[in-house]
Structure 1
Amino acid sequence: MDTVLFNFHDVTLILLSFECLLVAAILSISQPNRPLSTWFFVGFLICHSLMALHELVFWGKEFRLWMLDVSPNLFFLGSYAYYLDGPFLFLFVRALLYKDFALKRVDLLHLLPLALYAFLLVVAFYGLSAADKVQLIETQHIAYSSPFLYFDAASKYLRVGYALFGLALVWRYGLRLQDSVANINRQDLVWLKAMMLTILLLYCLDALLLTVKLHGLVTQNFNMDLLNDLGVSAYHLNFLAINVLVLLKFSRFDTVEAIDSETNSGQDTEDAMTAEWVQRIEQGMQDPAVYALPNISLDKLADALDIPARKLSQILKHHFDTNFYEFVNRRRIEVAKARLADPAFDHQSITDIFYDVGFNSKSVFNTFFKRMVGQTPSQYRETSRREPDGGKGIFQSH
């Protein structure tokens, strides 16, 4: 990048920086009642805008000289963002997936690596004379010197750690979603995992680049061709990943069902598991206005039954030995079984029935029905009318 002004790689970085700032500005001023997750996403975008500018100034000769004319003290301004985009990503995912998330004092620890890096720059760069700063930047000696290179590598490895923690959050969210939602949007979950895996790949590529640099520092033999190829690949993958992430922000993330981050384990279980609570749940689940809601959630069921959401989750787990997803859909299947077995519902197609009982996906209905009953809905409709119980289940209601 030292030979041509505004080459293809420069344009990629400029476009990325401008796009991130533009989207961050749009999100900041256009959305009323912006959730906390949006602000973390805005911070993440601003970081990537600064990082793109930093790469442009750090490796582009003409941009580097221009920055020296302005002030050498501004040269590393964008590098601080490498210590912030990981925390912003992690906090964005937490705030997006868990509705009870709130910032705590312990979250200030995310700023500790940034503070250490700032201290390093004060000692190793800002404390130097203006002439020494200019020489370090012009010769790019600082890019391959041990103090800076170690901290640069630490920032890249730290980002990999944040991406792994973010992926773990999404994975845990997917497992716990069944405790809170009856109709799970699998596509949102797939996109969330794909997003985190893509970002993890990007961060791993950056970490690999710094690993090669560290190897060159130890052996005093830097493979410049390999470093250039890895760096350029990271630029374009970053551009692609950010664009996908922005697209998902506007198309998918608003429909993500946030859940509680924690569920009480066994505390107060005996108090909650009274006959009154259990009876209220069983009676409430007889009402189609409750179980047949396509978007029924743990919170909505708790409101309908006038039971605290965490108490309800606890009762389902310890008394009914199931999670919310299984509990509601078992009830729906029981009603569907009764209708399929009843000649009075012959005028209804299987599609009409699964919509009426609350399912919004034929594949989910068929899969759940086959797992629970051992037959497909059409097979069950043909055979169940010969059974004396008419296909009714534990709730005994249509």
Structure 2
Amino acid sequence: MNNVLPIYHIGLIQAWFAALLVYRKPNKGAADKLLVIWLIVIGIEMLYSLLNAKYLTWLPDLIIIPLSYGPFLFFYTKLLTSKKTVTIRNIHRHLIPVYLFILIAVFWGKPIDINSVNFFSKGPITWLAILNFTLFLLVIVYYWRASLKLIRKHNHTLGDHFSYRSETIMLNWLKTTAIWILSGFFASGITFIIFSTQNIFPFNPIELFHLGLLVFTFSISYYGIHQPVLYQHQKPKQLQVSDEAQEKKSQKFGDLLYEHMVKNKPYLNNELTIQDLADQLKVSTQEISNYLNKELGVNFFNYINSFRIEEAKQRLTNPAFDYETLLGIAYDSGFNSKTSFNTLFKKETGMTPSEYKKAFRSSTKKST
């Protein structure tokens, strides 16, 4: 057991130090605050295991605290992806498995050592360990699926809020982390089943679990620190106006928006969000979204990138920009990658940027 003590020491320090870094992160959101709590809980799990391994060996050697990791993953994802204010007051009912095994450990009245499991004798400790691992895997699978469902739903509506695509706003890192936590915990559970059926325990399967937890902590703390707040929550305005007044207001807003786009070119910011545009116009994001969807029939992503494409066209056909590379034109027009530039430009014009430039030069020569 002593050979795994460094895992607990490193995990404890890493989890609590990461919690401090996230806590000191500027512009924290609700998801960041929950992540701080989650990292503290992971640190407590590492401390608990360290005490159980070296000092307080009478502590129950069961998966108790990690039964909360599924709910933590789900609510962290929900707070990141929700466009409305979310409260987690009901998180306690998601922690019932944790409370259940705390009560079992308290009323058991004696040490619960995983090394005492004997699948063939099927004693009480064996059935308890099997119940523990089975419930843990069921909890992880349930909340893993729920978290991925939230991420998919989030990605379907990105175009209404963002004018670009990136790893952080698409939450690809969180999806990978969710897959990692599932596969790692399953490996721990399967290892336990194999060892118990063969009645051999070359090492405690919980050690494998903690090794995976250590890597997981590094991952979620690194990406969590760099994860920006995706949505700023606003209370929707409840104003009732006549259809005629609404039409005039919409026309006025449309003129204001178009004038701002042409004059100030906010689309040149390759990380422009609907919140940024709303702040510039001193309106709500709901006003912009309603106008684009109802009056123009487009989402925010397509609206902003239509201006970027027009900007790129001007630069591609203007000899003054011949010194610029296609990548340079893409960035200067507001695109954040050459791939998105080529894809969106070809979708709009039917040609790649280089083909468009050649076609324009060819037609210009013929006309002269």
TM-score class, shorter-chain normalisation, is 0.7 to 0.9
Percent of counterpart pairs with the same letter? 22
Q: 3-state DSSP class of the match of 2:42?
A: helix
Q: Distance in 2 between matches of 1:293 and 1:193?
A: 27
Closer/same/farther in 2, CA of residues 225 and 323 from structure 1, 3 Å limit: farther
- Which of 136, 146, 153 is the matching residue for 1:155? 136
Q: Distance in 2 between matches of 1:316 and 1:33?
A: 28
- Which one-letter code corresponds to 1:39 in the other structure? K
2:18 corresponds in structure 1 to 23
Q: Distance in 2 between matches of 1:204 and 1:263?
A: 42
CA deviation after TM superposition for structure 1 residue 297, in Å:
0.8
2:354 corresponds in structure 1 to 378
CA deviation after TM superposition for structure 1 residue 98, in Å:
4.0
Closer/same/farther in 2, CA of residues 318 and 77 from structure 1, 3 Å limit: farther
Q: 3-state DSSP class of the match of 1:287?
A: helix
Q: Distance in 1 between matches of 2:41 and 2:77?
A: 16
Give CA deviations for 1:328-359 in whole Å, capped at 9, x if unaligned: 11121022213323446546554443333222
Asked if 1:118 corresponds to 2:102, the answer is yes
Closer/same/farther in 2, CA of residues 116 and 262 from structure 1, 3 Å limit: farther
159-168 vs 144-153, greater mean Cα deviation = 144-153
CA deviation after TM superposition for structure 1 residue 113, in Å:
3.1
CA deviation after TM superposition for structure 1 residue 277, in Å:
3.3
Asked if 1:200 corresponds to 2:151, the answer is no
**Tell me, which stretches of 5 or more residues in structure 2 are unaligned?**
118-122
Q: Distance in 1 between matches of 2:268 and 2:235?
A: 25
2:38 corresponds in structure 1 to 44
Give CA deviations for 1:32-75 in whole Å, capped at 9, x if unaligned: 665432332222223323333445566x5xx3xx425xxx4xx2
Q: 3-state DSSP class of the match of 1:222?
A: helix
2:265 corresponds in structure 1 to 289
CA deviation after TM superposition for structure 1 residue 233, in Å:
3.7
1:353 corresponds in structure 2 to 329
The answer (yes or no) to whether the contact 1:94–1:169 under 8 Å persists in 2 is yes
Closer/same/farther in 2, CA of residues 34 and 358 from structure 1, 3 Å limit: closer
Closer/same/farther in 2, CA of residues 362 and 238 from structure 1, 3 Å limit: same
- Which one-letter code corresponds to 1:192 in the other structure? L
- Which of 73, 91, 109 is the matching residue for 1:89? 73
Asked if 1:186 corresponds to 2:167, the answer is yes
- Which of 222, 226, 230 is the matching residue for 1:247? 222
Q: Distance in 1 between matches of 2:136 and 2:330?
A: 51
Give CA deviations for 1:90-116 in whole Å, capped at 9, x if unaligned: 222333444644324333422333333
Give CA deviations for 1:170-224 in whole Å, capped at 9, x if unaligned: 33333322221112223664333322221222233344456x28xx9xxxx7324
**Tell me, which stretches of 5 or more residues in structure 1 are unaligned?**
389-398
The answer (yes or no) to whether the contact 2:73–2:143 under 8 Å persists in 1 is yes
The answer (yes or no) to whether the contact 1:37–1:95 under 8 Å persists in 2 is yes
- Which one-letter code corresponds to 1:176 in the other structure? T
Closer/same/farther in 2, CA of residues 282 and 226 from structure 1, 3 Å limit: farther
* TM-score scaled by length of structure 2: 0.78
Closer/same/farther in 2, CA of residues 262 and 85 from structure 1, 3 Å limit: farther
The answer (yes or no) to whether the contact 1:17–1:50 under 8 Å persists in 2 is yes
Q: 3-state DSSP class of the match of 1:301?
A: helix
Give CA deviations for 1:296-350 in whole Å, capped at 9, x if unaligned: 1101222333442123223323332222112111121022213323446546554
Q: Distance in 2 between matches of 1:17 and 1:199?
A: 18
The answer (yes or no) to whether the contact 1:53–1:78 under 8 Å persists in 2 is no
| 1:278-357 → structure 2 map (5 Å cutoff) | 278-343=254-319, 345-346=321-322, 349-357=325-333
2:158 corresponds in structure 1 to 177
1:395 corresponds in structure 2 to none
Give CA deviations for 1:104-130 in whole Å, capped at 9, x if unaligned: 4333422333333334444x42xx4xx
Q: Distance in 2 between matches of 1:195 and 1:53?
A: 23
CA deviation after TM superposition for structure 1 residue 12, in Å:
2.2
- Which one-letter code corresponds to 1:164 in the other structure? R
Q: Distance in 2 between matches of 1:206 and 1:161?
A: 17
Give CA deviations for 1:233-255 in whole Å, capped at 9, x if unaligned: 433322222222233234x32xx
Q: 3-state DSSP class of the match of 2:162?
A: coil
User: Structure 1 stretches (4+) deviating beyond 6 angstroms?
Assistant: 260-264, 267-270
* TM-score scaled by length of structure 1: 0.73
1:258 corresponds in structure 2 to 230
Closer/same/farther in 2, CA of residues 299 and 387 from structure 1, 3 Å limit: farther
